[in-house]
Amino acid sequence: MENQITKEDLRLFAQTIIGELKEILVKQNKECSPEWVKAKVARQLLSISPASLQTLRISGKLQCRKILGSYYYNRKDIMNLFNE
């Protein structure tokens, strides 16, 4: 006798996976703080132009991460610029 997978089995499997993914995302969001901000927010915090932010990034004075074409800056690094 062959094991057959029904549409109901696939639906239940999909619901299980979606439920588990939601739990993981909720857990990650609780663990993550909004430390990393997009370039626009970084420019607003520093009151500088996009070119000035780029200069800080290229010179290595402000480190960043590029994710899917967007630059993210660590809020602590931005605040440390004021202390220098």
Per-residue pLDDT for the chain (84 aa), expressed as one digit of tens each?
578 989 999 999 999 999 998 888 777 665 555 688 999 999 998 999 999 999 999 999 998 999 999 999 998 898 888 776
Q: What is the pLDDT of residue 8?
A: 94
Whether the predicted model's global pTM rises above the 0.75 cut: no
Residue type, 24: I
Q: In what order do the strands lie in the sheet with 36-38?
A: 36-38, 70-74, 64-67
